[in-house]
């Protein structure tokens, strides 16, 4: 990891690939920085910057803030500090919670553009009944960390079900790391459950909102709502692509992103 400090003394850690315009890649809920591996080769003309989100991994101790607003604000401040550490106005490319963070950060910093793949925003009717954070927190408090993270996998990553979940998780390379991050995933989910999408998002930069037809219906619905709340937005939905679109179909997603950035 490269490391630097911003003007407000907030430490940021990241890996940088290439010397072009900064492209900040912000990972989602349980995805480690390796999530962006398949994407990096698609953006060789940019200076791809892959940070470690606060509380995820080793860059920072797990934060003490527990309120929903504090968690999102903390991550947006981290992105702004990261932008201060690189030359030029960056492009923010976020996935899931990273997409929500990118949009939130762009409301208070100059960016060249924002790309948001299925931002982690809940429709109002879905949010009213959301209790994943409470259920996970109860399981973690009772020492059932794996069960807590399984609930996240079942509800967010594979809401349509998956055959033999335990076998699938055993083959998932990042599963042990995800279990270790259980408390942070609870905080993040609570933040998502309490976030209310405003009628208008104060983002001046052009924004590309992406979704996939095979992702959770509530995230597809929210992606369109986010698009409608942005003053300068384009919406694209990929046929046959899931919530893991950037890693699942990197060439297809990158082609759309490149076309958007070129215009």
pLDDT digits (tens, 9 = 90+) for 38-70: 889 999 899 999 987 666 543 344 445 455 567
pLDDT of residue 13: 82
| 130, two tokens | 């959301």
| DSSP 8-state secondary structure symbol assigned to residue 57 | T
> Quick check: is 55 in a domain?
yes
pLDDT of residue 38: 87
Same domain, 97 and 222: yes
Q: Which has the higher per-residue pLDDT, 88 or 253?
A: 253
> Quick check: is 159 in a domain?
yes
Residue that is last in its domain, among 141, 159, 185: 185
pTM: 0.88
Same domain, 145 and 228: no
pLDDT digits (tens, 9 = 90+) for 103-158: 999 999 999 999 999 999 999 888 888 888 999 999 999 999 999 999 988 887 77
pLDDT at 241 over 90: yes
Same domain, 160 and 235: no
| DSSP 8-state secondary structure symbol assigned to residue 153 | I
Q: What is the CATH number of the domain that holds 249?
A: 3.40.50.1820
Residue that is last in its domain, among 146, 163, 185: 185
pLDDT digits (tens, 9 = 90+) for 169-217: 888 777 887 888 888 888 888 889 999 999 999 999 999 999 999 988 8
Same domain, 54 and 137: no
pLDDT at 31 over 70: no
Pair 226, 103: CB distance under 8 Å: yes
Residue that is last in its domain, among 166, 185, 204: 185
pLDDT of residue 54: 65
Instruction: Provide φ and ψ at 199, rounded to 5°.
Output: -65, -30
pLDDT of residue 59: 39
| 15, two tokens | 């890996």
State the SS3 of 182-193. HHHHHHHHHHHH
Q: Is the dihedral of CA 191, 192, 198, 202 positive or negative?
A: positive
Same domain, 39 and 107: yes
> Quick check: is 190 in a domain?
no
The total domain count for the chain is 2
pLDDT of residue 32: 60
> pLDDT class for 161, splitting at 50, 70, 90?
confident
- Report the percentage of the chain scoring pLDDT > 70: 88
- Tell me how far apart the alpha carbons of residues 253 and 41 are, in angstroms, rounded to a whole number: 12
Query: Structural domain of residue 71, as residue ranges?
Result: 2-123+196-262
> Quick check: is 12 in a domain?
yes
Q: Which has the higher per-residue pLDDT, 96 or 181?
A: 96
Instruction: Provide φ and ψ at 212, rounded to 5°.
Output: -135, 145
> Quick check: is 87 in a domain?
yes
Q: Which of 13, 17, 5, 64 is nearest to 42 (CA)?
A: 17
Same domain, 104 and 55: yes
> pLDDT class for 168, splitting at 50, 70, 90?
confident
Same domain, 36 and 115: yes
> Quick check: is 191 in a domain?
no
Same domain, 203 and 162: no
Same domain, 104 and 150: no
> Quick check: is 180 in a domain?
yes
Same domain, 10 and 138: no
Beta 113-117 vs 207-212: how paired, if at all?
Answer: parallel
Same domain, 116 and 138: no
| 225, two tokens | 């709502």
Same domain, 90 and 181: no
């Amino acid at each position: 990891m490269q490391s630097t400090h911003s003007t407000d003394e907030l430490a940021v850690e990241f890996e940088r690939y290439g010397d072009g315009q900064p492209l900040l890649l912000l990972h989602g809920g349980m995805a480690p920085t390796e999530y962006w591996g398949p994407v990096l080769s698609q953006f060789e003309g940019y200076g791809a910057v892959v940070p470690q989100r606060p509380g995820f991994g080793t860059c920072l101790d797990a934060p003490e803030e527990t309120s929903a607003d504090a968690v999102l604000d903390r991550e947006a401040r981290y992105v702004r500090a990261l932008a201060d550490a690189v030359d030029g106005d960056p492009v923010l490319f976020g996935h899931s919670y990273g997409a929500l963070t990118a949009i939130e950060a762009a409301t208070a910093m100059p960016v060249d553009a924002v790309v948001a793949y299925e931002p982690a925003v809940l429709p109002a009717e879905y949010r009213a009944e959301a209790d994943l954070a409470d259920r996970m927190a109860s399981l973690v408090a009772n020492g059932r960390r794996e069960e807590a993270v399984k609930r996240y996998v079942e509800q967010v990553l594979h809401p349509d079900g998956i055959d033999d979940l335990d076998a699938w998780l055993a083959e998932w390379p990042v599963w042990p790391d995800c279990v270790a991050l259980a408390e942070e995933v609870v905080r993040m989910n609570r933040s998502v459950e309490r976030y209310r999408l405003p009628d208008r998002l104060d983002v001046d930069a052009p924004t590309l909102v992406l979704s996939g037809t095979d992702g959770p219906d509530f995230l597809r619905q929210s992606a369109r709502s986010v698009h409608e709340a942005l003053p300068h937005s384009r919406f694209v939905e990929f046929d046959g692509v899931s919530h893991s679109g950037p890693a699942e179909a990197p060439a297809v997603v990158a082609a759309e992103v490149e076309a958007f950035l070129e215009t």
